[in-house]
């Protein structure tokens, strides 16, 4: 819990480091170097090479994270270790950066500077933005906010909770490969394995993000019912098996039409999005990510809560004076409580009639 909260504080206070110091940028340069040496015009060789890139990427991400996590989590590391793990975890997500990117698009759209908007969107979407009018530019920004709520925060957090720092780093590596070569056309075969891995890893986080958007819509005064209905109706309209969930939920929450020309329309009966809707989407995303953080903290407490409830149940069944005669199974506790319990059990057994014991 301390690591997660500290990582979020680092993100909001300091943001992302320059690319020269960012592990994801390092990984991107490695992936680009491997891609530049890939075979061409040979589907089988490209497929095998793409699988090799994925294997190298996973190894490069997992091994340093595993070593770093073990070193920093040792008792000798103390608070320095906690800060180190938090800083490493922060490199796998970008809450502040995502919101700032959306706000930059909103401000430039409201200022009537479409060229700046297109420059902002280049860092958020892969589509060609040159021919997009203001409503489509706003739609692209809203879609990016919704999809990256999963890719840039919920998914890394999800795999951190399951597998620790290596899980978050491996997810980020696979997602980076997908964003670089997971496309049809030129990378049809080279990027197939990374793209499929990304689909698998995002299956749960994307759907969880959509549900978080529905919940956040209720908390922010948007339209949770519309979000739920649009998600159920339109999630399969996108080519991605995952991206349609958070994007359609966001479209319904805002009651706007999100369109990628020639590919899909989400919440088709909604109105065209306006610049102010980008700000509303950013607010919903921030609340959704705050909910994700809260769930993650509760997840950390679940083992402790389970142990407490188990101890209470054992004490109630075995050590409670009201049930002191029900001691058919030996009980082992710890410390002074075990001595008290054992004394209580012995006393009760000694004072219990033999006829009662026989029954």
Cβ neighbour number for residue 64 with a 10 Å cutoff: 15
**314 confidence band (pLDDT: 50, 70, 90):** confident
For the chain, what percent of residues have pLDDT higher than 90? Answer: 68
| Residues ≥6 apart with Cβ < 8 Å to 299 | 161
259 membership: H or E segment, kind and range: strand 258-260
Cβ atoms of residues 271 and 257 within 8 Å: yes
Q: Which residue has the higher pLDDT, 216 or 359?
A: 216
**136 confidence band (pLDDT: 50, 70, 90):** very high
Q: Which residue has the higher pLDDT, 286 or 130?
A: 286
Q: What is the predicted pLDDT for the residue at 277?
A: 98
**119 confidence band (pLDDT: 50, 70, 90):** confident
φ, ψ dihedrals at 75, nearest 5°: -60, -35
| Residues ≥6 apart with Cβ < 8 Å to 233 | 248
pLDDT at residue 357 is higher than 50? no
For 23, 103, 135, 273, 285, the CA distances from 109, given in Å and listed in that order, are 32, 10, 10, 12, 20
DSSP 14-57: H-PPPGGG-HHHHHHHHHHHHHHT---S-HHHHHHHHHHHHHHH
Average pLDDT over residues 144-149: 96
Cβ atoms of residues 61 and 27 within 8 Å: yes
pLDDT at residue 306 is higher than 80? no
For 29, 65, 180, 330, the CA distances from 23, given in Å and listed in that order, are 10, 11, 16, 54
**SS3 state at 221:** coil
What is d(CA 59, CA 193) in angstroms, rounded to the nearest whole number?
A: 15
Instruction: Give the dihedral of Cα atoms 135, 141, 145, 147; nearest 10 deg.
Output: 90
Closest to 338 in 3D by CA, of 346, 350, 349, 326: 346
pLDDT at residue 235 is higher than 80? yes
Say which range, 24-38, 89-103, 126-140, 239-253, has the weakest mean pLDDT: 126-140
159 membership: H or E segment, kind and range: helix 155-181
pLDDT at residue 327 is higher than 60? no
pLDDT at residue 331 is higher than 50? no
**SS3 state at 256:** strand
Angle at which helix 192-219 crosses helix 134-149, to 10 degrees, equals: 100
What is d(CA 104, CA 117) in angstroms, rounded to the nearest whole number?
A: 8
Q: What is the predicted pLDDT for the residue at 321?
A: 53
**SS3 state at 275:** helix
Q: What is the predicted pLDDT for the residue at 27?
A: 95
Q: What is the predicted pLDDT for the residue at 318?
A: 64
Average pLDDT, the chain: 87
Q: pLDDT tens for residues 26-78? A: 999 999 999 999 999 999 999 999 999 999 999 999 999 998 888 777 667 67
What is d(CA 294, CA 272) in angstroms, rounded to the nearest whole number?
A: 33
């Amino acid at each position: 819990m301390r690591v997660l909260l500290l990582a979020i504080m680092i993100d909001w206070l300091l943001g992302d480091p320059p690319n020269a110091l960012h592990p994801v940028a390092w990984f991107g340069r490695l992936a680009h170097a491997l891609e530049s040496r890939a075979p061409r015009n040979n589907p089988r060789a490209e497929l095998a090479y793409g699988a090799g890139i994925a294997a190298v990427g996973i190894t490069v991400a997992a091994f340093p994270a595993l070593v770093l996590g073990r070193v920093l989590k040792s008792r000798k590391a103390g608070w320095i270790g906690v800060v180190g793990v938090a800083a490493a975890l922060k490199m796998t997500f970008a809450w502040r950066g995502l919101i700032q990117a959306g706000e930059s698009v909103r401000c430039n759209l409201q200022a009537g500077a479409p060229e700046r908007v297109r420059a902002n969107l280049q860092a958020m979407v892969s589509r060609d933005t040159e021919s997009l009018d203001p409503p489509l530019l706003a739609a692209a920004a809203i879609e990016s906010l919704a999809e990256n709520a999963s890719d840039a925060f919920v998914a890394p957090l999800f795999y951190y909770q399951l597998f620790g720092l290596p899980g978050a780093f491996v997810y980020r590596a696979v997602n980076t490969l997908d964003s670089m070569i997971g496309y049809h056309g030129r990378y049809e075969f080279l990027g197939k394995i990374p793209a499929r891995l990304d689909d698998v890893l995002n299956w749960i986080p994307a759907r969880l993000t959509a549900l978080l958007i529905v919940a956040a819509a209720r908390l922010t005064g948007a339209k949770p019912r519309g979000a739920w209905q649009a998600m159920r109706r339109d999630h399969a309209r996108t080519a991605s098996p995952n991206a349609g969930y958070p994007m359609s939920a966001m479209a319904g929450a805002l009651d706007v039409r999100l369109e990628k020309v020639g590919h899909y329309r989400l919440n088709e009966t909604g109105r065209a999005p306006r610049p102010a809707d980008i700000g509303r989407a950013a607010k919903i995303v921030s609340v959704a990510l705050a909910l994700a953080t809260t769930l993650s903290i509760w997840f950390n407490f679940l083992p402790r809560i389970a142990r407490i409830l188990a101890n209470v149940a054992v004490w109630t069944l075995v050590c409670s004076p009201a049930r002191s005669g029900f001691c058919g199974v030996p009980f082992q506790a710890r410390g002074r409580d075990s001595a008290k319990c054992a004394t209580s059990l012995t006393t009760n057994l000694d004072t219990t009639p033999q006829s009662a014991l026989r029954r």
